[in-house]
Amino acid sequence: MANIFGMDIRRFSVLFIALIIIIAIFNSFRNIQNIQQNYNISINTNTIETENLPSTYYSYIYNKSIYLSPNINDLKYVYASFADVQPPNYTLDVQNYKIPIFFNLSVRNVSLLSLLINYLSRNASMITPYAYGGLLSIASSAFMNITNQSSVIITPLPLNANDTENYSKFEIIIIYAKNFKPPASFQKGWSYPPNDNITWGPLSSEIVNTYTLTAYVIITYSINYFLASSNSHGSLSCPGDHRYNYLYYDANVYYAFYYYVNENGSTSLYAVVSNTQTIPYTGGTIGPVTESTTAAVPGNSINVQATAGLTFIENETETIQKIYRSCNESNQTIAGNAYNITYKYYPILSSITNISNTYIFYEYNVTLPLQITVFNGTNPTTHIYENSTHAINFGARKINVNISYLVWSSAPEIYSIKIKTNDTINITTLYINRQWDAGILNIIPNDVVQTSGSSYYYYLDFSIESNIVKSPPTWIDEKMIYNKYAAIDYFYLEQNASLATTLMNYIKDTINQSDMQYMKFEYFVLASQYVMYAFNTSIEAWNNLLELESMGNISWALVNAKILNLSTYPNLRYISGLLQFYNISRIPEIYNSSIYFNISGNNEVYLVDIYNAYYEQWDRIPFGNPYSFGNISFYTFQNTSIPYVGEEIYFYNADFIPEIIYAIFSYSNPSIAEITAIWNGTAWIS
């Protein structure tokens, strides 16, 4: 059983931190005449039509009409967080029935609209059709057919004793949707997110071009010998004598090595090495000298080189010269040949080093057939991104395409094929993009180098590395189920969010700067009046007031209490229920004249407007224990658990939406505030 308080607008007590729930009862300001001026004001997503009218009642001399036009964009004024429920079903067991839970309304993090868009944008691997149907059922609240409108009049309270500010001179007519019909089904064009089934192959490649690169050298040289040293021994005096001569020649060798590179038929000189080097008779070497250069190949450059050198070894020659000689020996003349023998030592060229290198590269045409089948979505478009740049777009459900590209073995690179399918649904002005990210196929070239002598052959072979989601989830053929009650629930939520935002903006735009400290007070008053007149039962008023006040960023508390059912009076029957308290921080000083009493220690006595309750025929009867103080009559509650001044109470700062489909609400993370004053009021039951 829910319980609601009413208030006597002629008697107030100061509220500094906490306020017991008060529903303002205003029965005047009904006769409005003589329209003077009409104009439109745009507040957020709603249109407010304003009429300035004179009034014969009190200081309310203007009239302002607010036409509530709730739509899905008003969910941006409700704050929540993701429910801690696992995909893809997002279900919790609620009363032995598994139902998706998307939102945690206990924690204000981001707007409910942002959360809804986030869920609707998820791909088919993250959410089942059953859960997605729940989200689209929520979105169906944007397409309500309003069959009947009603209106209530609410009146701001003056904020100073002289009633000088313009703010309180307006009474507000709120026109809201009283009766409406939800759509019979999902909107045309709405669908479950798209998903792909992908196959590929076989991969093929063929050589279509060749590039040859050769580095070589041309060698020139000349040799000049010179006598470096000599020695001899022996004699040539008489026949038969031998003289030995040893001649040692070194060589001055001038050489020049010319290095060339031939780039696929185009030749250029890239280095010259030249010098003169002395080679001893024993031999020696020049070089070998290797010169390298960077040469361009298709898509790349490589280092190429050629080598040149000269090798000398020692060479020996012998020459024998016969020389006729005669001499006297023992008084005899001897004639004959003497021998002059000469040995020459000098270096001669033994070998030439001339090494050229040839590099052969090949261009390949690589082809990979792809077969893609697209399921679900409304008008899906499949995008094939090649190497993250070139994109091919397809609007078909069956796609057969050959991915073909050229690659040189001189510049092998991984070729990436990324596949995505996008689809969009629109919810009034919202466009929701759903994307199936199928993954990436990488065609990987592998180097294969073969050599033959000084020739190097650069080949490629190819393999495929895949992280492709070949097949969509098993649940994609399930049906989405439409829930009209979700559309109704969230339409009510949108209407309250629209009203809460409009009222708060109205107060901010019209209240005097000096009265900004009372902004929550005025919001509370206006929202309370709306609930009092707009709803037929206490339970409706109870829930909607708590929802509206919390949407105005007013922290709230619920307290258990036993309250006398005055409809059974004089029989004293008490009903267990909840009292609502709100922390509105301050109320204007002019409402400081009401008296509240502490008659039994920590029990508060709440004043009741008996006259209005009985003689003005309120539609809800106040209740409590009767008590008299002088000529003032009022009622008290039975139990001692009702908060009193000085007591600390837990307040919650969350949008109070405890019973709405696809969401959870829990009483968590309250803050403590001490009650410094309580504004008087009354409670009732239906």
The pLDDT tens digits of the residues spanning 7-51 come to 322 222 223 223 333 332 222 222 222 222 222 222 223 333 333
More confident residue, 186 or 391: 186
pLDDT tens for residues 252-298?
999 999 999 999 999 999 999 999 999 999 999 999 999 999 999 99
How confident is the model at residue 640, as a pLDDT? 54
Answer whether 362's CB lies under 8 Å from 209's CB: yes
Residues 6+ apart with CB under 8 A from 385: 391, 416, 417, 418, 419, 420
Evaluate if residue 109 carries a pLDDT over 50: yes
How confident is the model at residue 18, as a pLDDT? 31
User: Residue 501 and residue 50: Cα distance in Å, rounded?
Assistant: 17
Q: How many CB atoms lie within 10 A of CB 406?
A: 12
How confident is the model at residue 610, as a pLDDT? 38
Answer whether 17's CB lies under 8 Å from 675's CB: yes
How confident is the model at residue 145, as a pLDDT? 94
Cis peptide before 473 (omega within 30 of 0): no
Alpha-carbon dihedral of residues 509, 510, 513, 519, nearest 10 degrees? Answer: -80
- What's the per-residue H, E or C state across 523-534? HHHHHHHHHHHH
Average pLDDT over residues 315-321: 96
Write out the DSSP string of 166-212: GGGGEEEEEEEEEEEE--SSPPTT--PPPEEEEEE---EEEEEEEEE
Q: How many CB atoms lie within 10 A of CB 601?
A: 7
| Maximum average pLDDT range among 143-157, 280-294, 460-474 | 280-294
How confident is the model at residue 568, as a pLDDT? 62
More confident residue, 408 or 56: 408
How confident is the model at residue 449, as a pLDDT? 96
How confident is the model at residue 499, as a pLDDT? 94
Average pLDDT over residues 244-255: 97
pLDDT category at 161 given cuts 50, 70, 90 is low
Round the average pLDDT of the chain to a whole number and report it.
80
Evaluate if residue 62 carries a pLDDT over 80: no
pLDDT tens for residues 413-428?
999 999 999 999 999 9
User: Residue 359 and residue 658: Cα distance in Å, rounded?
Assistant: 77
pLDDT category at 515 given cuts 50, 70, 90 is confident
Say whether pTM exceeds 0.95. Answer: no
pLDDT tens for residues 637-665?
555 566 666 677 888 888 888 789 999 88
Phi, psi dihedrals of residue 440, rounded to the nearest 5°: -135, 135
pLDDT tens for residues 548-601?
988 988 888 887 776 655 556 556 666 677 777 788 777 676 664 443 333 333
How confident is the model at residue 519, as a pLDDT? 87
